[in-house]
Structure 1
Amino acid sequence: MKIGILGTGHIGKTLVKELSAAGHDVKVANSRGPETIDAELLTAGARAVTTQEALRDVEVVILSIPLNAIPKIAPLVADLPDETVVIDTSNYYPFRDTKIDAIEAGQVESLWVAEQLGRPIAKAWNAIGSASLGRKGKPKGDAGRIAIPVAADRNRDREVAMALVEDTGLDAVHSGTLADSWRQQPGAPVYCTDLMHDEIEGALSAAERARLPARRDLGVAVMQERLGDGTTNPDEEWGVRLVRAINM
């Protein structure tokens, strides 16, 4: 597929590598310009382009940018054809994104994103840590392959997002509509806990909406105390153990 990826953070970089290696035609952009994109990201065939170029003549757009940057790119996304699948990977973290009143009041993060963009989206790759995404992918059918939830309202959005998740070495599990996607937000049992396919449904069902913010913030506090700067991601073992202890 022709894919445009916006963002070269922890998740964005890994998606560029994995989807390029899987044979997709990938263009990648960041907010600083194509000349700032590490050439190592492009070794599997991806091309570094401007944001406008990344959104031109593509079938899928993946947004891997901080949630508070969504409104800034909304005018560009508004020009995409309706059939273009837009997949959002973001999560809301008040310490990073500044407080967003609607989400603080209870709006589901994915619905807020869809509202800002003025179009349907799919939600995927938000519920796995970047270290696990980069190091734990396995071929389809291998024992121990991690599964992650995918939420969407439209059938095509769901089908395309799930197929691409599979191409990144993970099992995709449809978690429901965007309105239900709070079950895969930070603080939920399915969030960054590296579960197998047959464990996902139970984890989604066990989510308690009112408890998510406190669990999210507790995890952040522990990671900041341990890692220091609040931007360094934990490795795939320690981080998973911590989040499982808090979220499950």
Structure 2
Amino acid sequence: MTGNDGRGVVPSAGGGVAQGRGITTVGIVGTGRVGCALARLALDAGLAVVGSGSGPLDRAQAQLDARAPGAVAGTLAEVAAADVVILAIPLGRFRELDPEAFRRSLVVDAMNYWWELDGARPDLDDPTTSTSETVQTHLAGARVVKALNHMSLYELENLAFPPGHPERRGAAIAGDVAEDVQAVATLVDALGFDPVVAGSLADGVRFEPGTEVFGADDDAGEVRAMLDRFWQSQRGRVVGRARGVGEG
């Protein structure tokens, strides 16, 4: 295993890792099933959770009470003030997010683009960039890291395990700032998954929908191998040609 060199599996630090890195609160934008699953994992890790939905606070609180008891509904400003903010809404709605609210936030982009639901979106289907880079451009003052998007709802709800468990799954991470990637890696570890660093935010394309990693629910070693095989895949060749990147 290597450290955060843009290619490695980040070694697990065991229990209390998130708190040890200064992460005590998690904000979640989106109180649907994915958002609530992430909220429950954060609560199980001993973190305080505040979530916001698209409707009134009482509706968001009811959703959290049903699926993540202990999480508290809050305003967008309260969510953005958390140590880490996870975006768990459809990617097609990202421009509804007020950039000013996230100006100093560490943001985990767990969103995905589905053309069947979002419609044709050239800004989200451009092979020369990753969708997380597009989100970063919109949330200009935030520090965006891609993570948790490629994991199935079943995996989030049922396959989180403590460090060293033989069934522990891997979770890819991509970001441009090493310190932020490491902070998100500690959070992913605390949630019950082995963090696997894919590289820069541009490398988030390697675990977007339509890639081998997406929905694979596999261990860290296989996640690493799938990320490395991306450039030989059909999607990888399309992206590589668009970016002028040779196979390798």
Q: Structure 1 residue 88 and structure 2 residue 148: aligned?
A: no
CA contact 1:65–1:90 (8 Å) conserved in 2: yes
Residue aligned with 2:98, SS? helix
Structure 1 pair 147/210, CA: closer, same or farther in 2 (3 Å)? closer
Structure 2 match to 1:115: 137
Q: 1:210 to 1:120 in 2, by over 3 A?
A: farther
Deviation at 1:54, TM superposition (A): 1.7
Unmatched tracts of structure 2, length 5 or more: 1-23, 237-248
Output one character per residue of 1:131-161: Cα deviation in whole Å (capped at 9) or x when no partner. 1111011111010211110111112221111
Q: Deviations over 1:44-76 (max 9, x none)?
A: x221112232223x2111111111211111334
RCO greater where, 1 or 2, for CA within 8 Å and sep 6 or more?
A: 2
RMSD after superposition: 1.8
Aligned residue pair count: 208
Supply the distance in 2 between the matched residues of 1:209 and 1:47 (Cα, whole angstroms). 44
Letter paired with 1:117:
L
- Aligned with 2:119 (options 98, 103, 106): 98
TM-score, structure 1 normalization? 0.78
1:141 corresponding residue in structure 2? 164
| 3-state secondary structure, aligned to 1:104 | coil
User: CA contact under 8 A between 2:76 and 2:101: conserved in structure 1?
Assistant: no
Shift of 1:128: 0.5
Sort the Cα spacing of 1:100 and 1:23 in 2 relative to 1 into closer, same or farther, 3 A. same
- Compare the two structures and name the one with the higher helix fraction: 1
Counterpart residue number, 1:47: 72
Once the two structures are superposed, what CA deviation does each residue of 1:78-104 show, in whole Å capped at 9, x if it has no partner? 4x32xx311110011111122221233
Write out the 4+ residue segments of structure 1 that deviate beyond 6 Å after TM superposition.
none
Distance 1:103 1:66 in 2: 12
Letter matched to residue 181 of structure 1: G
* Deviation sequence 1:169-213 (CA, Å, 0-9, x none): 111111110111111111111111011111122100111487349
Question: For residues 123 and 105 of structure 1, what CA distance do their matches in structure 2 show?
Answer: 17
Secondary structure, in 3 states, of the residue corresponding to 2:214? coil
Q: Does 1:196 align with 2:219?
A: yes
Structure-1 separation of matches of 2:191 and 2:115: 29
Aligned mates of 1:197, 1:89 — CA distance in 2: 18
How far apart in 2 are the matches of 1:23 and 1:98? 39
TM-score when normalising by structure 2: 0.78
Query: Is the 2:28–2:85 contact (alpha carbons within 8 Å) kept by the matching residues of 1?
Result: yes
Gaps of 5+ in 1: 214-248
Taking the TM superposition and a 5 Å limit, the aligned residue runs for 1:1-248 are 1-37=24-60, 38=63, 39-43=65-69, 45-56=70-81, 58-78=82-102, 80-81=103-104, 84-106=105-127, 107-118=129-140, 119-208=142-231, 211-212=234-235
Q: How far apart, in 1, do the equivalents of 2:99 and 2:201 lie?
A: 21
Contact 2:189 2:195 in 1 (8 A): yes
